[in-house]
Amino acid sequence: QQQVKQSPQSLIVQKGGISIINCAYENTAFDYFPWYQQFPGKGPALLIAIRPDVSEKKEGRFTISFNKSAKQFSLHIMDSQPGDSATYFCAASMGQGGSEKLVFGKGTKLTVNP
Amino acid sequence: NAGVMQNPRHLVRRRGQEARLRCSPMKGHSHVYWYRQLPEEGLKFMVYLQKENIIDESGMPKERFSAEFPKEGPSILRIQQVVRGDSAAYFCASSSTISGGYTFGSGTRLTVV
């Protein structure tokens, strides 16, 4: 019930293409869904987050789509760039992520070829 | 305003030794979290602390692991009698009750030989 399942495990996209990463959860008590970006040797950095009262949130080239009934959410990276090559983690928590523990997916290693 | 500071960045310990990992939260942040990341895995929650209090330690192994966040000084994650399976990256994050959201440090990579 506490799991967040993430797919695919790895993804290769050409420059300018769209990268799509999917996550699914079981616990309906989750109400905060952030995405983190991690470069090698660095800590995860918050990319974008969504609450279940909206179905989509867009920030620049990054969009989260949220399907509450299916208990799924996804990250779309438009016009993918080589600099986007990193590992992406979805996560979920039962709070705003400010005082509640996060449950992370296992990550997706994105490679954007020039 | 420096971010979350973790040290050391890399730590090598022999089996049976103790490992002490330090985390200084961002200025103004009073909540500290520790996560462990095994190779090719996501981060796993270990413990959530506020100053002088452990709020949630549900992810901490029952033995050999302890954490503290004293009134003064950094938060410490202590691993006694380390074993090879403790080799991982340990990340600290901090937040404030005002802004919410996490800021992660760059982690401590522990290698047990």
State pLDDT tens for residues B78-105: 999 999 999 999 999 998 876 667 899 9
- pLDDT at residue B102 in the model: 83
- B28 pLDDT band (50/70/90 cuts)? confident
User: Residue B35 is encoded by which pair of tokens?
Assistant: 């996560």
Q: Give the number of beta-carbon pairs within 8 Å between A and B.
A: 66
Q: Across residues A25-53, what is the average pLDDT?
A: 92
Q: Using CA of residue A99, residue B32, residue B49, residue B27, what is the dihedral sign?
A: negative
What is the average pLDDT score of chain B? 92
- pLDDT at residue B30 in the model: 87
Q: Pick the closest to residue A76 from A50, A40, A42 (CA basis).
A: A50
In chain B, residues with a C-beta closer than 8 Å to the C-beta of A34 are 102
Question: Is pLDDT of A101 > 90?
Answer: no
> For A105, which DSSP code?
-
How distant is the Cα of A84 from the closest Cα of chain B, in angstroms?
18
Question: Is pLDDT of A78 > 70?
Answer: yes
Distance, in Å, from the CA atom of B26 to the CA atom of B30, rounded to the nearest integer, reads 8
Classify residue B9 as left (phi > 0), alpha (psi -120 to 50) or beta.
Answer: alpha
Q: Where are the alpha helices (DSSP H) in chain B?
A: none
In chain B, residues with a C-beta closer than 8 Å to the C-beta of A107 are 40-42
Q: Where are the beta strands (DSSP E) in A60-107?
A: 62-67, 72-77, 86-92, 103-104
Q: Using CA of residue B4, residue B5, residue B8, residue B10, what is the dihedral sign?
A: positive
Count of alpha carbons within 13 angstroms of residue B7, beta-carbon side: 5
- pLDDT at residue B29 in the model: 87
Closest to A104 (Cβ–Cβ): which among B42, B96, B103?
B42
Contact yes or no for B42 and A43 at CB 8 A: no
Distance, in Å, from the CA atom of A37 to the CA atom of A87, rounded to the nearest integer, reads 6
User: Residue B49 is encoded by which pair of tokens?
Assistant: 């602390």
Q: Across residues A60-73, what is the average pLDDT?
A: 96
Question: Is pLDDT of A9 > 70?
Answer: yes
Question: Is pLDDT of A96 > 90?
Answer: no
Tracing tokens 């410490």 back to the chain, one arrives at B76
- φ, ψ at A98 (rounded to 5°): -95, -20
Side chain identity, residue A91: A
Closest to A99 (Cβ–Cβ): which among B4, B91, B97?
B97
